[in-house]
Amino acid sequence: MAWDRRRRRGSEAGLIGFVANNLALVICTVAALAVLVVARAQDASFDDARGWLNDTAAPVMELFAEPAAEVRRWGDGVSSFFAVYEENQRLREQIEKLRGAERELANLQRKVMRYEELLKIPADAAVTSVAARVIADASGPFVRTVLINAGRGEGVAKGQAVVDERGLLGRVITTGNRSARVLLLTDVNSRIPVMVEGANLKAILVGDNTGQPVLEYLPPGSRITIGARVITTPDGGAFPPGVPIGSIAAGVRVPKVDLFTTEGRADYVRILQYSAPVDVDETEPEAVPAGPKTQPTSGPSTTPTSPPPLPQAGAPAAAAARPT
């Protein structure tokens, strides 16, 4: 029994000695358990402590955030540094191509100006525009129109062309003081004169309520290249020349056009105020001279009498003058 008491006292002394020798570990363990219990309980005091810790650590984290962001930017710059040379070479090649195209365009412009001077071709009429926004799409199964927020107050008139940054959208059909309705190229009632570039073929672009209007009234035997651009012509004085419309569609039996823009793409548009440079005297033509007019008679119509016959040679004058 004495040995048991000594062993029991030794074990107690060993546990107390362990706690005494590892006091910091015991305190941290107890604190961690307490924090875990409080966190599970979602005590408000713990939330306040967490907020205080966040507030305390925020200035330090903000202090190190800017250098860290700068290091990341430098890292991104270093990673893209090796691609700068290739990008620079590609840009140089593009610049050289653009310079060559600019020189060629300048030469073509000088030639055109020279030809116009030789042929005495008058300059095209100036085209002004009014900006507007598409505010409603009134398209349906049988009509294709849109509403724009510009009208007579802004100088919009019936028949003017409506375009966006891609090409022709349609023409104005009705106007109000602050709005107007635009008939789209795809509408079945749309008919506009166009020309196929390259072949210089004139035709009428006819809408059929599909996304690809049809080219009609082409010259017989016309050959059209797929992908050729279709532009407006000033025929009729309604549209300015050269407004892009679309390109010749592929895989169709009847010549159709893939439009550059539709009502689904259009947001902001421009209304082109164009008038054909026509300077013709508008005086009335002279009246065509009419034939002899017969005076109406009030009584019954009578047949004209023939003049009396002339006397025959050798006949007595009294016989000629005698009444019958």
**pLDDT above 70 as % of the chain:** 72
Highest mean pLDDT among 111-120, 279-288, 297-306: 111-120
pLDDT at 304: 46
pLDDT at residue 160, rounded to an integer: 93
pLDDT above 90 covers what percent of the chain?
35
All residues at 6 or more sequence positions from 200 whose CB lies less than 8 Å from its CB, including other chains: none
Q: What is the mean pLDDT of the chain?
A: 78
Who has greater pLDDT, 126 or 155? 155
pLDDT tens for residues 74-95? 777 666 777 787 888 889 999 9
| pLDDT above 60 for 141 | yes
Contact 136, 146 (CB under 8 A): yes
CATH number of 128-273: 2.40.10.340
Give the contacts of 101 (CB within 8 A, at least 6 positions apart): none
Q: What is the 3-state secondary structure (H, E, C) of the chain?
A: CHHHHHHHHHHHHHHHHHHHHCHHHHHHHHHHHHHHHHHHHCCHHHHHHHHHHHHHHHHHHHHHHHHHHHHHHHHHHHHHHCCHHHHHHHHHHHHHHHHHHHHHHHHHHHHHHHHHHHHCCCCCCCCEEEEEEEEEECCCCCCCEEEECCCHHHCCCCCCEEECCCCEEEEEEEECCCCEEEEECCCCCCEEEEEECCCCEEEEEECCCCCCCEEECCCCCCCCCCCCEEEECCHHHCCCCCCEEEEECCCCCCCEEEECCCCCCCCEEEEEECCCCCCCCCCCCCCCCCCCCCCCCCCCCCCCCCCCCCCCCCCCHHHHHCCC
- Which two structure tokens, joined as six digits, stand for 210? 């599909």
Q: What is the pLDDT of residue 127?
A: 82
Q: What is the pLDDT of residue 303?
A: 47
* Mean pLDDT for the stretch of residues 13-36: 77
AA letter at 158: K
pLDDT of residue 322: 47
Separation of alpha carbons 180 and 132, rounded Å: 10
Residue type at 262? T
Residue 139: what pLDDT? 67
Q: Considering only 56-65, 245-254, 272-281, 293-302, which range has the smallest mean pLDDT?
A: 293-302
Q: What is the mean pLDDT of residues 236-252?
A: 89
Model pTM above 0.75: no
Please say if the pLDDT value at position 2 is more than 70. Answer: no
pLDDT at 6 over 60: no
Q: Taking 90 as the threshold, does the pLDDT of residue 97 lie above it?
A: yes
